[in-house]
């Protein structure tokens, strides 16, 4: 079965037919490094990491480009509020994003170009747009002339008259309020380190032009897939496509967009005050569980984040990791090369080729784990060996092989925690029975024994819960 992906531009599922057979060029809009990464940010990046892994697993040589927007109005404003140089502010959060990517097991991008490292390419593309009659200069700033490009709005299926004014510059500075900035002239009071020389004077690039210039630099005039979060479709991706094609480049052949993470139905974002910082989440939950929670819902479906999201993902991860550990102890562990070369079950392949249907793929993984556990119980070692290799190979595609170097220690800890939970729950039940019988001495003895072992019991209306003590 051929890989089929939902193309946002044509609004249909299409066969993936790479520009060069056996190769795939992907550009994913990376972070604007104005603040710390939250769970909503990671959703999109994990989704495209799964795509990258699947293309590699199916024999493609993948070139993955993920940019860093390190110069932008919000970066400058927030750095000024904090009283630090804009470049130091940007670098701090670029590093936080990189650490978050590593924590959830993402493959490294082939290139992660910064906007500030691409100024010559940006200026050259703006010059071309001016020369072709699609851009104009006003007082040192340059704007894309939306009326000059009849196909503007094609990506999001909008007419020019239906669009809101571009918010990246004052409406009265442009021929049309919907024209957007390609180059922004420097303003009084802005840091002198945040400007570059251009034919139109000192200034800095607009947000949209940087991605067009970097995509072309690293992937060429035409490339296979452009990806990003659903919120980037307009205006960012619409503007990217318009300016690139107005410059004479074919640009992206397929557009893929991942849906949001929501809380109580609202998009997770800093502006709503409901952003869960990755650093905070990972202080309480395993990185593999976070990755599983983000990847386990279809990339085009909204992920409703609640208190149970990571609790459920942690329990699922424990089951998967526990089976792999028990089976490997029984029949021996396979090498990564064996896992990467293992034949994948047809239902799993069909699910992944069907627009990366990870939920269906996971359903088949769970069935394989069930059969593997039955084989363990029956003492059927050949069936156990086959099952664990198959399970690891499928999980490897999702970046979740419990026995790989990234997750090996975490998987062992997860299995140990599952065993500990079983033992503690037995004591909690015995304590509940003692309390019901008003045997307070026995109930207190159980609680004291658990406390001495570093286990804290908390009583609530929903019953007793336990946690490991954080005291030194």
Q: Is the per-residue pLDDT at 268 higher than 90?
A: no
Identify whether 109 is part of a domain: yes
Identify whether 117 is part of a domain: yes
User: Do 137 and 165 sit in the same domain of this protein?
Assistant: yes
Q: What is the pTM of this model?
A: 0.86
User: What's the pLDDT score for residue 427?
Assistant: 86
Q: Is the per-residue pLDDT at 413 higher than 60?
A: no
Of 378, 406, 434, the last residue of a domain is 406
User: Do 199 and 140 sit in the same domain of this protein?
Assistant: yes
Distance in angstroms (rounded) separating the CA atoms of residues 14 and 300: 15
Average pLDDT, stretch 130-157?
97
Q: Is the per-residue pLDDT at 294 higher than 80?
A: yes
Distance in angstroms (rounded) separating the CA atoms of residues 28 and 50: 13
Pairing assessment for the beta strands 303-304 and 261-263 based on DSSP bridges: parallel
User: What's the pLDDT score for residue 452?
Assistant: 85
User: What's the pLDDT score for residue 376?
Assistant: 97
Identify whether 209 is part of a domain: yes
User: Do 140 and 222 sit in the same domain of this protein?
Assistant: yes
Average pLDDT, stretch 314-339?
95
Distance in angstroms (rounded) separating the CA atoms of residues 370 and 378: 12
User: Do 283 and 225 sit in the same domain of this protein?
Assistant: no
Identify whether 321 is part of a domain: yes
User: What's the pLDDT score for residue 472?
Assistant: 45
Q: Measure CA of the first residue to CA of the last residue in the chain; give whole Å.
A: 56
Confidence bin at 411 (pLDDT 50/70/90): low
pLDDT digits (tens, 9 = 90+) for 7-32: 999 999 999 999 999 999 999 999 99
Identify whether 217 is part of a domain: yes
Average pLDDT, stretch 402-408?
93
Structure tokens at 66: 């993920």
Chain centroid to CA 86: how far? 25
Distance in angstroms (rounded) separating the CA atoms of residues 232 and 151: 18
Q: Helices (DSSP H) in 69-116: which residue ranges?
A: 73-82, 86-103
On the question of a cis peptide bond just before residue 72, with omega within 30 degrees of 0, the verdict is: no
Identify whether 267 is part of a domain: no
User: What's the pLDDT score for residue 417?
Assistant: 60
* E strand or H helix that includes residue 353: helix 346-353
Identify whether 271 is part of a domain: no
User: Do 415 and 399 sit in the same domain of this protein?
Assistant: no
- Percent share of the chain, pLDDT over 70: 94
User: Do 380 and 433 sit in the same domain of this protein?
Assistant: no
Structure tokens at 211: 């991605």
User: Do 399 and 422 sit in the same domain of this protein?
Assistant: no
Average pLDDT, stretch 364-389?
97
The number of folded domains in the chain is: 3
User: Do 73 and 217 sit in the same domain of this protein?
Assistant: yes
- Percent share of the chain, pLDDT over 90: 79
Of 406, 423, 447, the last residue of a domain is 406
Distance in angstroms (rounded) separating the CA atoms of residues 296 and 310: 11
User: Do 182 and 288 sit in the same domain of this protein?
Assistant: no
Q: Is the per-residue pLDDT at 281 higher than 70?
A: yes
Average pLDDT, stretch 440-458?
86
- Contact between 236 and 138 under an 8 Å Cβ cutoff? The reply is no
User: Do 319 and 391 sit in the same domain of this protein?
Assistant: yes
Of 228, 258, 288, the last residue of a domain is 258
Pairing assessment for the beta strands 23-28 and 222-229 based on DSSP bridges: parallel
* E strand or H helix that includes residue 468: strand 463-468
Q: Is the per-residue pLDDT at 466 higher than 80?
A: no
Q: Is the per-residue pLDDT at 421 higher than 70?
A: no
pLDDT digits (tens, 9 = 90+) for 63-87: 999 999 999 999 999 999 999 999 9
Structural domain that includes position 300: 278-406
User: What's the pLDDT score for residue 253?
Assistant: 98
Q: Is the per-residue pLDDT at 415 higher than 70?
A: no
Provide CB contacts within 8 A for 405, sequence distance 6+.
none
User: What's the pLDDT score for residue 460?
Assistant: 67
Identify whether 268 is part of a domain: no
Q: Is the per-residue pLDDT at 363 higher than 50?
A: yes
User: Do 422 and 386 sit in the same domain of this protein?
Assistant: no
The CATH number assigned to the domain holding 246 equals 3.40.50.620
User: What's the pLDDT score for residue 178?
Assistant: 96
Helix (H, G, I), strand (E, B) or coil at 114: strand
User: Do 299 and 389 sit in the same domain of this protein?
Assistant: yes
Whole-number Cα distances in Å, 412 to 119, 295, 386, 454 = 47, 21, 21, 20
Per-position b or e across 357-388, b if 16+ CB within 10 A of its CB: bbebbbebbeebbebbbebbeeeeeebbbbbb
Q: Helices (DSSP H) in 354-407: which residue ranges?
A: 358-378, 381-397
Per-position b or e across 255-272, b if 16+ CB within 10 A of its CB: bbbbbbbbbeeebbbeee
């Amino acid at each position: 079965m051929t890989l089929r992906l939902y193309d946002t531009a044509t609004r249909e599922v299409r066969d993936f037919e790479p520009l060069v057979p056996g190769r795939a060029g992907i550009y994913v809009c990376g972070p604007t490094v104005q603040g710390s990464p939250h769970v909503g940010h990671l959703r999109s990046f994990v989704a495209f990491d799964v795509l990258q892994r699947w293309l590699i697993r199916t024999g493609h040589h993948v070139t993955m480009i993920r940019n860093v927007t390190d110069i932008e109005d919000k970066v400058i404003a927030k750095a000024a509020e904090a009283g630090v140089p804009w470049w130091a502010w940007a670098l701090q959060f670029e590093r936080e994003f990189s650490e978050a990517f590593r924590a959830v097991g993402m493959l490294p991008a082939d290139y992660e170009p910064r906007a500030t490292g691409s100024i010559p390419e940006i200026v050259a593309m703006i010059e071309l747009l001016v020369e072709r009659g699609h851009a104009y200069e006003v007082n040192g700033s340059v704007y894309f002339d939306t009326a000059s490009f009849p196909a503007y709005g094609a990506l999001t299926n909008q007419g020019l008259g239906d669009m809101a004014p571009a918010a990246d510059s004052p409406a009265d500075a442009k021929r049309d309020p919907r024209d957007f900035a390609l180059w922004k002239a420097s303003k009084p009071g802005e840091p002198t380190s945040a400007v570059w020389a251009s034919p139109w004077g000192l200034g800095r690039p607009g947000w949209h032009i940087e991605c067009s210039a970097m995509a072309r630099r690293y992937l060429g005039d035409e490339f296979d897939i452009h990806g990003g979060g659903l919120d980037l479709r307009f205006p960012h991706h619409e503007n990217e496509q318009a300016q690139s094609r107005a410059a004479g480049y074919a640009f992206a052949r397929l557009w893929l967009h991942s849906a949001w993470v929501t809380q109580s139905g609202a998009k997770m974002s800093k502006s709503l005050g409901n952003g869960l910082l990755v650093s905070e989440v990972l202080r309480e939950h395993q990185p593999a569980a976070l990755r599983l929670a983000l990847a386990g819902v279809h990339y085009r479906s909204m992920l409703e984040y609640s208190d149970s999201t990571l609790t459920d993902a942690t329990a699922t991860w424990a089951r998967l990791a526990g089976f792999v550990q028990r089976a490997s102890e029984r029949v021996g562990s396979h090498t990564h090369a064996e896992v990467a070369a293992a034949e994948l079950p047809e239902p799993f392949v069909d699910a992944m080729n069907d627009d990366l249907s990870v939920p269906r793929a996971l359903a088949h993984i769970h069935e394989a784990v069930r059969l593997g556990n039955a084989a363990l119980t029956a003492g059927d070692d050949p069936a156990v060996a086959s099952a664990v290799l198959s399970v690891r190979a499928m999980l490897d595609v999702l970046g979740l092989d419990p026995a790989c170097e990234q997750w090996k220690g975490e998987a062992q800890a997860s299995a140990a925690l599952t065993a500990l939970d079983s033992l503690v729950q037995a004591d909690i039940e015995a304590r509940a029975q003692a309390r019901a019988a008003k045997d307070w001495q026995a109930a207190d003895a159980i609680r004291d024994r658990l406390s001495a072992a570093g286990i804290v019991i908390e009583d609530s209306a929903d019953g007793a819960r336990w946690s490991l003590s954080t005291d030194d």
